[in-house]
Amino acid sequence: MSLTDSAAVDVARSASIASRQLATLSNTSRNDALTALHQALDQNRDTILAANARDVEAATKAADSGDLNHSVLKRLDLSRPGKYDDMLQGILDVRDLEDPIGKVTLRTLLDEGLTLERVSCPIGVLLIIFEARPEVIANIAALAIKSGNAAILKGGKESIESFTAIAKVVSEAIAGSRVPVSSVQLVKTRDAVSALLAQDAYIDLVIPRGSNELVRFVKENTKIPVLGHADGLCSAYIHADANIDTAVKVIVDSKTDYPAACNALETLLVHEDVLESVFPEVAKALIKKGVSLRCDSASQAALAKSLTTDQLSQVRSASEADYSTEFLDLILAVKSVTKTDSAESAVEAAIAHINTHHSKHTDIIITESRSLANLFMNSIDSAGVFWNASSRFADGMRFGFGTEVGISTNKIHSRGPVGLEGLTIYKYLIQGNGHAAGDYHDGAEGRKYLHKRLPINE
Amino acid sequence: MSLTDSAAVDVARSASIASRQLATLSNTSRNDALTALHQALDQNRDTILAANARDVEAATKAADSGDLNHSVLKRLDLSRPGKYDDMLQGILDVRDLEDPIGKVTLRTLLDEGLTLERVSCPIGVLLIIFEARPEVIANIAALAIKSGNAAILKGGKESIESFTAIAKVVSEAIAGSRVPVSSVQLVKTRDAVSALLAQDAYIDLVIPRGSNELVRFVKENTKIPVLGHADGLCSAYIHADANIDTAVKVIVDSKTDYPAACNALETLLVHEDVLESVFPEVAKALIKKGVSLRCDSASQAALAKSLTTDQLSQVRSASEADYSTEFLDLILAVKSVTKTDSAESAVEAAIAHINTHHSKHTDIIITESRSLANLFMNSIDSAGVFWNASSRFADGMRFGFGTEVGISTNKIHSRGPVGLEGLTIYKYLIQGNGHAAGDYHDGAEGRKYLHKRLPINE
């Protein structure tokens, strides 16, 4: 299928129609479809892995000739030990989560016989755009079906063979369930993205899964709300009262546990009073782990006093751009903070720096003071603000959400790690028996609203 | 001030900085500012009403010469009995609502000494664009301050004198409080809207308050999320088992209680089996209230059998466009529904018609069957789905929310009548004492997450 604009309309409209039917299915019906999906992917393992091997072969050639980054190979390869089984288990894990649909979150007696309820429901149609990882198809199909949303999936060209093979199995598995076939549609055409991003009449939410460039492209080319984050510029502030062990442990983990992750630390701010006490210990531990430091003059001068020549080879002067850079590597920008003309204290200078430079993802403070931590947590405008704990905890699995659609740096709807709940919205239901609003207008005979809060579970 | 792009940046950036400080204020500090605002507007009543009288005078001239719709005059006039006092009382009502900020909605023990909390917080910076109603300034300023959000208000040219007078009083009142002055900024320049809508780096949410055209213009000209609704095309379906009294009462109220409102009924669908029983009674009651009916052939034929010639003068044939028209007047489109090739039953045909034509605002069903009502409520993709109750109940005051920012037809964040809660989001806070994520990786020595749900109130 060549995905012209009219074809994109057809895909989006059929997804929209399917989404309404999907919204009426019970949790059992949705779970049955996931069981069938799991079984089909298990039974067709050999076919899918053979298709995946063709993708890996083509990608290896492209990587060897310099046309593709080698890191893509690892993400593409479904035959790595445990990867296929993890994908299969993920479907069952999602199936066994609590039903996110039909939860009553508000119940009010407006008047005798007139009851208002707010009930969670699916959002409608999701468009998921991803790059190399083929297991995302199974993962997202499971999340969409569990949350009662229709999903349109658009994969990258590197995974085209895997994608085609998995798509066939997914469609056949769903066809045998009560979930409408158009609930999960897989679009392969290379130029489909722009046409799909224009379907704001039918698509309710776009979830890009891939590089920062992909997310930025999507955000700039659609009117549909986008759930995700383009950058992960996480910062830490070490206060004057910081415990040395806490500072070393948290900062080293934040920077080095997985430097390529969006929740890795990129900027370290240090109170001027501990530049020669806490900071050198942190710096030594980072340097030992292979981290290069890019320092402002005060922090660099402090290190010059206590580090060996060998250690200092990993320290250099920072440029202003370093404080706005997501290195995704063993590099850390360092800046000392102090009371200034515009900041009444070092912590206020740190807060101002972070709120100006960060990407609203996750920022942390190292301090022994609860009141200072509270000020920091209230003032920093990020999805996550952590006190004496690593930025690497910003993750749906670590938060105990069971699964994660992605991490959002949006300011509305969902923020931080987004689980199934982030794929739901609510509707207001009223049950009456012939109630008219005109009977409640002001005047001698107007009825009065009771507005009595009722228990949620009854 | 001429609001060039750079001036718009200054307004938005200063609002952003103020919002961070505002986010740290206690409920008491925010309430004190509202008390001061109330007092200042009370004391300056004469000055503000004099300014408003100049707006009304200019608007009257414009209306008389045909340059302005007369309906604007009524909305503009602050001197109408009770209007100014209502505006003042509204500030105190908002002040006395429960604090929407700092509510813990999730608390999880991740591990010993490592606690995760999800806490409600302000969104950040709101841009409110409104037309004639000058009391919106006080209303929105109160809502913004109570919810800890900074607000940029842009008024229409008809209310420029009132706006200037109120703006001065608001700024002076806030200057005497702990709320930063830049938390509420009032922008008067006529061409400011486009420049402000471009400030997506600083502004987090746009709330247009005014005509459908205004909302549509805003939605089409900004990357910032927009909270609101452009249309209110509400529909009702009368099922074969409908109680006649319920149908008459609910349909007449939905259509005639306030026809210009967004929650007024615009389309009526009738099961074919009751075209000659329930429907003529509903039609007679509507016609008695002055409603004109635009019917499909089957419903028109049914009325021809039982209505008088006089009554039939208010009945004519519907065009296809009538089913997509928000009349905002005493006109109702009527269509009979029946089982079709694509719909297994009349109710499914009604659901399909509504989901294709409605604006996702509010739709209603008249039936005596709970299972049918549930099917309808699950299938209709609207912010509100009401059973045997008027569409006119779709309103924040009637829902018991105390106040309302507007009614949203969005599919994410907030849906339906939006109260203070809709002006909040949340952040995730973690408190640890030197916890590193690396300690929890798989392997013999890896620690295990506890993920123990803790009580919310402790």
Residue A317 to chain B, least CA–CA distance (Å): 28
Residue B1 has pLDDT above 50, yes or no: no
What is the DSSP track for A307-357?
S-HHHHTTEEEPPGGGGG----SSEEEEEEE---SS-SSHHHHHHHHHHHH
B225, B427, B436: residue with CB nearest A390 = B436
- Mean pLDDT of the B332-336 span: 98
Nearest by CB to residue A388, choosing from B219, B415, B431, is B431
Would you say residue A168 has pLDDT above 50? yes
User: Predicted confidence band at B189 (pLDDT cuts at 50, 70, 90)?
Assistant: confident
A:64-123 residues touching chain B, CB 8 A cutoff: 108, 110, 114, 116, 121, 123
Contacts 24+ apart (CB under 8 A), B46-49: B47/B165, B47/B169, B48/B78, B48/B84, B48/B162, B48/B165, B48/B166, B48/B169, B49/B78, B49/B79, B49/B84
Mean pLDDT, range A140-161, rounded to an integer? 92
Four-point Cα dihedral B346, B348, B349, B354, nearest 10: 130
The mean predicted confidence, pLDDT, of chain B is 93
**In angstroms, rounded to a whole number, what is the distance separating the alpha carbons of residues B326 and B259?**
10
Q: What token pair was written down for B421? A: 């809660």
Average pLDDT (B34-40) is 97
Q: State the smallest CA–CA distance between residue A58 and chain B in angstroms.
A: 32
Other C-beta atoms closer than 10 Å to the C-beta of B293 total 24
Q: What is the pLDDT of residue A189?
A: 73
- Test A437 with B355 for CB contact under 8 angstroms: no
Please check whether residue A384 touches B, CB under 8 A: yes
Under a CB-based contact definition with an 8 Å cutoff, are residues A183 and A18 in contact? yes
Residue A131 — very low, low, confident or very high, per pLDDT cuts 50/70/90?
Answer: confident
Nearest CA in chain A to B430: A386
pLDDT in tens, B341-354: 878 899 999 999 99
- Alpha-carbon distance of A34 to A170, in angstroms, equals 10
Residues of A within 8 A of B392 (CB-CB) are 436-438
Question: Is residue B433 within a helix (H) or strand (E), and if so which, with residue range?
Answer: strand B424-435
Q: Mean pLDDT, chain A, as a whole number?
A: 93
CA distance B325 to chain A (A): 17
A221 CA: distance to closest CA in chain B (Å): 10
Picking from B124, B243, B389, the nearest residue to A411 by CB comes out as B124
Nearest to A386 among B108, B430, B451 (CB): B430
- pLDDT-wise least confident of A27-31, A184-188, B195-199: A184-188
Residue A457 — very low, low, confident or very high, per pLDDT cuts 50/70/90? confident
CB contact under 8 A, A108 and B400: yes
Hunting for tokens 């004469």 — which residue is that?
Answer: B46
Q: Contact, B228 vs B207, CB < 8 A?
A: yes
| pTM, entire model | 0.92
Using a CB-CB distance cutoff of 8 angstroms, which residues of chain A are in contact with residue B427? 377, 382-385, 415-416
Contacts of residue A272, Cβ cutoff 8 Å, sequence gap at least 6: A298, A336, A337, A338, A346
Q: Least CB-CB distance to B432: which of A377, A389, A425?
A: A389
Distance of residue A400 Cα from the nearest chain B Cα, in angstroms? 6
Q: What's the CATH number of domain B5-220, 3.40.190.10, 3.30.70.3270, 3.40.190.290, 3.40.605.10?
A: 3.40.605.10
Length of chain B: 458
Inter-chain residue contact A411 with B417, CB threshold 8 Å: no
Residue B331's nearest CA partner among B339, B321, B342 is B321
pLDDT at residue A458 tops 80? no
Residues 7-26 of A with CB under 8 A from B: 19-21, 23-24
CB B53 within 8 A of CB B79: yes
pLDDT band at A432 (very low <50, low <70, confident <90, very high): very high
Q: Are B228 and B208 in contact (CB under 8 A)?
A: yes
Interchain proximity A432–B116, CB inside 8 Å? no
Distance CA(A154)–CA(B334), nearest Å, equals 41
pLDDT of residue A455: 94
- A:387-426 residues touching chain B, CB 8 A cutoff: 387-390, 392-395, 398-400, 410-417, 425-426
| Of the partner residues A114, A390, A416, the one whose CB lies closest to the CB of residue B389 | A114
Q: Is A304 on the interface with B (CB under 8 A)?
A: no
At the fourth CATH level, which superfamily is domain B234-399? Aldehyde Dehydrogenase; Chain A, domain 2 (3.40.309.10)
pLDDT tops 70 at residue B367: yes
Between chains, do A24 and B416 touch, taking CB under 8 Å as contact? Answer: no
pLDDT band at A18 (very low <50, low <70, confident <90, very high): very high
> Of all residues in chain B, what percent carry a pLDDT higher than 90?
78
Residue A304 C-alpha, separation from nearest chain B C-alpha, in angstroms: 27
Chain A residue numbers touching B426 (CB-CB < 8 A): 415
d(CA B9, CA B26): 28
Q: pLDDT at position A176, please?
A: 93
Chain B residues lying within 8 Å of A386, measured CB to CB: 429-432
Q: What is the ipTM of this complex?
A: 0.93
**pLDDT grade, residue A1 (50/70/90)?**
very low
User: Which of A245, A415, A431 lies nearest to residue B387, judging by beta carbons?
Assistant: A431
CA angle A409, A414, A416 (to 5 degrees): 50
Note whether B201 contacts A: Cβ–Cβ < 8 A. no
Of B108, B385, B430, which is closest to A429 when you measure between CB atoms?
Answer: B385
Set of chain A residues whose Cβ sits within 8 Å of the Cβ of B124: 381, 411
How does DSSP classify residue B109?
A: E
Q: A79 pLDDT exceeds 50?
A: yes
Q: What is the DSSP string of B238-304?
A: E-TT--HHHHHHHHHHHHHS-TTSTTSEEEEEEEGGGTTTHHHHHHHHHHHTT-EEEE-HHHHHHHH
For A362-417, how does the pLDDT look when each residue is reduced to its tens digit (9 = 90+)? 999 999 999 999 999 999 999 999 999 999 999 998 999 877 888 999 999 999 99
User: Using an 8 Å Cβ cutoff, are B433 and A242 in contact?
Assistant: no
* pLDDT beyond 80 at B71: no
B114-161 pLDDT, tens digit each:
999 999 999 999 999 987 788 888 888 999 999 999 999 998 888 889
Q: Tokens in use for B192? A: 């400011």
Comparing CB atoms, the residue among A378, A385, A398 nearest residue B437 is: A398
Interface of A with B in 223-252 (CB under 8 A): 223, 225, 243, 245-246, 249-250, 252
pLDDT of residue A71: 74
What 3-state class would DSSP assign to B202? coil
Question: How far is C-alpha B306 from the chain's CA centre?
Answer: 40
- Where do runs of H (alpha helix) occur along B147-269? 160-175, 192-197, 212-220, 244-256
Say if CB B106 and CB B117 are below 8 A apart: yes
Q: How confident is the model at residue A444 (pLDDT cuts 50, 70, 90)?
A: low
Structure confidence at residue A292 (pLDDT) = 98
Whether residues A387 and B114 touch (CB distance < 8 A) is answered with: no
Q: Looking at beta carbons, which residues of chain B come within 8 Å of A434?
A: 243, 245-246, 249-250, 388-389
Q: Residue B431 and residue A400: Cβ atoms within 8 Å?
A: no
Q: Where exactly are the structural domains of chain B?
A: 5-220, 234-399
Q: What is the arithmetic mean of pLDDT over A254-282?
A: 97
Residues on chain A touching B262 (C-beta within 8 angstroms)? none
Any CB–CB contact under 8 A between B443 and chain A? no
B58 touches chain A (CB under 8 A): no
Identify which of A373, A381, A449 has the shortest CB distance to residue B400.
A449
Tell me which chain B residues have a C-beta less than 8 angstroms from the C-beta of A121: 378
Q: Are A142 and B431 in contact (CB under 8 A)?
A: no
